[in-house]
Structure 1
Amino acid sequence: MIGPVGGDERPEGLLARLAPEAVPAGFPSPAQGYYTGPVDLNRHLMRDPTATFIVRVSGESMIGAGIFDGDELIVDRGLDAHEGDVVVAVVNTELTVKRLSYRSGRMVLSPENPAYPEIVLSEHDEATIWGVATRCLHRV
């Protein structure tokens, strides 16, 4: 499912408080417990809201990249895709999320799960990079 995040204006009410330091995943820090000012999540998560979409992931081909079934990707259609990027591609009219690479001059879309085959595009395939995934929203 693909849908726009917003128009030219930034929606109000997407502010969150930001802790001034990283939170340790090991032992707790006694210095924690205070916050800096609010963070605009639009600015924090999106480079260009007019070119940004949220895509819901279905399937398990990208679990090795930490992208799971039901996760939502923030996808920027205004970025140029580079080798190694996680991209949303349109291959023969079908959308897919894969890691981009090139081999012998051909585009290769690779899963991050060995149970799935990579897609090596031929001259007979129609393929375009729809956008570059910049963030993964994952429920904990």
Structure 2
Amino acid sequence: MITHDSKNLTFFVPDPIDGLGSIFINTGISAGFPSPTEDFTQEKLSLDEQLIKNKEATFYARVNGQSMIGAGLDDNDLLVIDRSLEPENGKIAVCFLDGEFTVKRLRKQGNEVWLQPENPSYPIIKITEENDFVIWGIVTNVIKKV
């Protein structure tokens, strides 16, 4: 796996692994009261197949900071980012802004664009013509440690 570091995000290029998968028990796991023991089926499950739609345009990045905690993105979470998706209002995007990568929610109105954090301790960033700004990719999934 290849890594690229930035101040706010660490990017990982996934190594494709074909034919591998972990055992998946397809019965559902109760988060309420325990259910009686049932017969269950096992099958192989590949997280690449579940989380990645376009392998050539997909990257991982680790979150560094607390600006998106309201969206469920915590420090050290692993993001799945698809560069082939079109940016849309309300989507969470990884952006290159003035020499640094950041992850924020996109807000668009007419020709104006803002990067909105999901933590009131951080300011909303209005993008202007003076900014060096690129929407690098759209976050499709987050992987958390428990």
Would you call these one fold, judging by a TM-score over 0.5?
A: yes
Deviations 1:44-98 (A, max 9, x none): 1101111111101000001111111111101111111111111100111210000
Give secondary structure in 1 for the equivalent of 2:25: coil
- 1:41 pairs with 2:47: yes
Give secondary structure in 2 for the equivalent of 1:18: strand
Of 75, 81, 94 in structure 1, the residue corresponding to residue 81 of structure 2 is 75
- 1:2 pairs with 2:11: yes
Residue 29 to residue 90, structure 1, CA distance change in 2 (3 Å): same
Residue 113 to residue 3, structure 1, CA distance change in 2 (3 Å): same
Deviation at 1:22, TM superposition (A): 3.3
Deviation at 1:104, TM superposition (A): 4.8
Contact 1:85–1:99 (Cα < 8 Å) also in 2? yes
- 1:85 pairs with 2:91: yes
- 1:103 pairs with 2:76: no
The count of residues paired between Structure 1 and Structure 2 equals: 137
Percent identical across equivalent pairs?
Answer: 36
Of 98, 101, 121 in structure 1, the residue corresponding to residue 127 of structure 2 is 121
Deviation at 1:106, TM superposition (A): 1.1
Residue 67 to residue 93, structure 1, CA distance change in 2 (3 Å): same
The ranges of structure 1 where at least 4 consecutive aligned residues each deviate by more than 6 angstroms after the TM superposition are: none
Q: Distance in 2 between matches of 1:122 and 1:31?
A: 59
Gaps of 5+ in 1: none
Gaps of 5+ in 2: 1-9
Indicate the structure with greater strand content: 2
Q: Distance in 2 between matches of 1:33 and 1:134?
A: 33
Q: Distance in 2 between matches of 1:53 and 1:32?
A: 38
Contact 1:14–1:41 (Cα < 8 Å) also in 2? no
User: Taking structure 1 as the reference length, what is the TM-score of the superposition?
Assistant: 0.88
Q: Distance in 2 between matches of 1:32 and 1:62?
A: 40
Contact 2:104–2:115 (Cα < 8 Å) also in 1? yes
User: Taking structure 2 as the reference length, what is the TM-score of the superposition?
Assistant: 0.85
Superposed counterparts of 1:52-71, under 5 Å: 52-71=58-77
After superposing the two structures, state which structure 1 stretch, 20-29 or 64-73, moved more: 20-29
